[in-house]
Amino acid sequence: MDVAVLGLFLLTAFFGGIVAGLAGFATGLVVSGVWLHFMTPAQFACLIVGYGAITQGYGIWKLRHALKWHRVMPFIIGTFAGVPLGAWLLTRINADHVRVGVGVLLIVYSSYFLIRPNVHPRHAGFVVETIVGFVNGILGGMTGLAGPIITMWCNLRGFPKDTQRAIYQPVITVSFILTGISLAIAGQFTGEVVRLYLYGLLPMAAGLWFGVHLYGRLNENTFRKVILVLLLLSGAALVLPFH
């Protein structure tokens, strides 16, 4: 990796950290358009999982006052079942069709609620939320995007911003853990991956710290708009993947 590429890697790691601190997801979305030009998809996945251990863990710690495990567990249970199934389905169905379908859903949803700003809170029970976690897990297993479905659901429920993040960040963490285990079993955490990880660790952490401070300045309406814009971009990334 030459100096210019390394500099670009470090800069995008910093911005990825900002997004992680500000919104609690979409780090991979921010950095993928750059990183996938000079690293393999497996290396990219390893780095996102590795940095996710820091970004998600720090976010959960900062929002521990809002964390209610009885509220999170249905989504975690669903995700545990969904991620392995998504990975299994990846080789057995046309994953591109699923990816594009979900991408269109995210684009339509986020566009609609950006235009129509009023959200009326929805109510759901254990079974429905487990199904949402299951679908979120399947998408994560098939595409590596662990956050869009669960984030969209929390937004639709009309939760306060701390409550939203205290739900979807633990769920994303579980998805990352499952993905990391799969990558480790496959022997993807190579010396090159560790070297890249160490290079980007400081700028990612600095961006994370800055993003968390920005998050503290957002009111509920602004946070909701940030989430909707990131969901819109996530949908676009699924329909027209950067790689």
Across the range 210-218, mean pLDDT stands at 94
- The answer on pLDDT for 241 being more than 70 is no
Which residue's entry shows tokens 């699923």?
98
Q: Of all residues in the chain, what percent carry a pLDDT higher than 90?
A: 42
pLDDT band at 127 (very low <50, low <70, confident <90, very high): very high
- The answer on pLDDT for 118 being more than 80 is no
Question: Is residue 174 a contact partner of residue 80, using CB atoms and an 8 Å limit?
Answer: yes
Question: Is residue 60 a contact partner of residue 167, using CB atoms and an 8 Å limit?
Answer: no
Distance of alpha carbon 166 from alpha carbon 154, whole angstroms: 10
In 3D space, the residue among 59, 21, 66 whose CA is nearest the CA of residue 215 turns out to be 21
Longest dimension (CA), the chain: 53
Tell me the three state secondary structure of residue 22. helix
Question: Is residue 25 a contact partner of residue 136, using CB atoms and an 8 Å limit?
Answer: no
Across the range 24-31, mean pLDDT stands at 84
47-99 pLDDT, tens digit per residue, is: 988 999 899 999 999 999 999 999 999 999 999 898 888 878 766 777 677 77
The structural domains of the chain, with segments of one domain joined by +, span: 3-239
pLDDT band at 242 (very low <50, low <70, confident <90, very high): low
- The DSSP code sequence of 160-221 is -HHHHHHHHHHHHHHHHHHHHHHHHHTT---HHHHHHHHHHHHHHHHHHHHHHHHHHT--HH
pLDDT value at position 201?
A: 96
- The answer on pLDDT for 243 being more than 60 is no
pLDDT value at position 99?
A: 73
Nearest-5° angle of CA 38, CA 43, CA 45? 115
pLDDT value at position 39?
A: 86
pLDDT band at 210 (very low <50, low <70, confident <90, very high): very high
Q: Of all residues in the chain, what percent carry a pLDDT higher than 70?
A: 94
DSSP run (H or E) holding 29: helix 27-35
